[in-house]
Amino acid sequence: MSTKISVLYLDDEVENLNSFNANFRREFNVHLANSIDEAYSVIESKEIHVVLSDHKMPHITGIEFFETLCKTHPSITRILLTGCSELNVVVDGINRGQIFKYLYKPMNVDLVRKTVEDAYKKFLEDKKNQMEVVELIETNEKLEFMLRQKLIS
């Protein structure tokens, strides 16, 4: 890939953040946050393509974070990481947080790498689709204008 993927990893455990950074800093533009406030600060100041978040954190779950994120930054692709295997977490992640993938801890480095790359492809595809929708709306407005002009004359 020609552009380096910009990834934010949110986890309240510093050891996990350090491990993620050590494994992926050469391949991706890695941004780390150990709180929701730090995560939002990064998202507001950097172009982020993919966000990985731990599920269980103090004060808020990864799903609750993603639920808000998909309203404020819908183009960012979301991946949930957790050591929890409860079905309701998976269902909530999909339904409420609109996650792209659900991965288990401890992290499988190769699987995380592939998943981030796939998530970035989805990000690019969604961005392309959004641009095509804008073009279609503009073309439709021009055609409606031309039709009105023809009906008037």
Q: What CATH number has the domain bearing residue 35? A: 3.40.50.2300
Residue 32 resides in a domain: yes
Q: What angle do CA 41, 84, 48 make, to 5 degrees?
A: 25
Give the single-character DSSP code of 32.
Answer: E
Number of domains in the chain: 1
- Distance separating alpha carbons of residues 34 and 36, to the nearest angstrom: 7
Question: Crossing angle for the helix pair 36-45 and 62-72, nearest 10 degrees?
Answer: 30
- Distance separating alpha carbons of residues 95 and 24, to the nearest angstrom: 29
Residue 71 resides in a domain: yes
Residue 148 resides in a domain: no
pLDDT at residue 126, as a whole number: 87
Residue with tokens 């659900």: 102
pLDDT at residue 88, as a whole number: 66
Order of strands, sheet of 50-54, starting from the edge strand that comes earlier in the sequence: 29-33, 6-10, 50-54, 77-82, 101-104
Residue 150 resides in a domain: no
Q: What angle do CA 26, 70, 113 make, to 5 degrees?
A: 25
pLDDT at residue 87, as a whole number: 63
Regions of the chain where pLDDT drops below 50: 1
Could you tell me the two tokens for 103? 């991965």
| H or E stretch covering 9 | strand 6-10
Residue 13 resides in a domain: yes
Give the max Cα distance, the chain: 72
Residue 36 resides in a domain: yes
Q: Which residues make beta-bridge pairs with 53?
A: 10, 80
Residue 141 resides in a domain: no
The residue range of the domain holding 59 is: 6-128
pLDDT at residue 18, as a whole number: 96
Claim: this prediction has a pTM higher than 0.85: no
Residue 75 resides in a domain: yes
User: b/e map of 64-76 (b: 16 or more CB within 10 Å)?
Assistant: bbbbebbeeeeeb
Residue with tokens 């982020």: 48
